[in-house]
Amino acid sequence: AQTVTQSQPEMSVQEAETVTLSCTYDTSESDYYLFWYKQPPSRQMILVIRQEAYKQQNATENRFSVNFQKAAKSFSLKISDSQLGDAAMYFCASHGSGSRLTFGEGTQLTVNP
């Protein structure tokens, strides 16, 4: 079984600043993927970034990057140059063989102008 924990129910950041959202996971799998999804007020789920566990290099998508620490089972999301449109609920998720995508409880990000 997999578990995903997001210890920050809420976070806030000033526009143009950087913020890091935390995520830890627990899995017995050796092969798995990790994801960050964004859910804006429209409630549409949007894939932000994906990391393959076998890759040591941290994934990057424009202003979004991850800090993947496999030994610590940590997968944090860094948002640089935060924009008002980044305000949303962010979900961390893991996916291993023989199982489905498991989501954390989410972190509500507020971006202050």
Contacts with another protein by CB under 8 A lie at 29, 31-33, 35, 42-47, 50, 52, 91, 95-98, 100-106, 108
Closest distance between another protein and the C-beta of residue 36, in Å? 12
Tokens standing for residue 47: 């894939």
Rounded Cα gap, residues 75 and 58, in angstroms: 10
The SS3 of residue 111 is strand
Closest CB to another protein among residues 62, 113:
62
Closest CB to another protein among residues 7, 14:
7
Rounded Cα gap, residues 46 and 61, in angstroms: 13
Closest CB to another protein among residues 50, 78:
50
- One-letter amino acid at 11 equals M
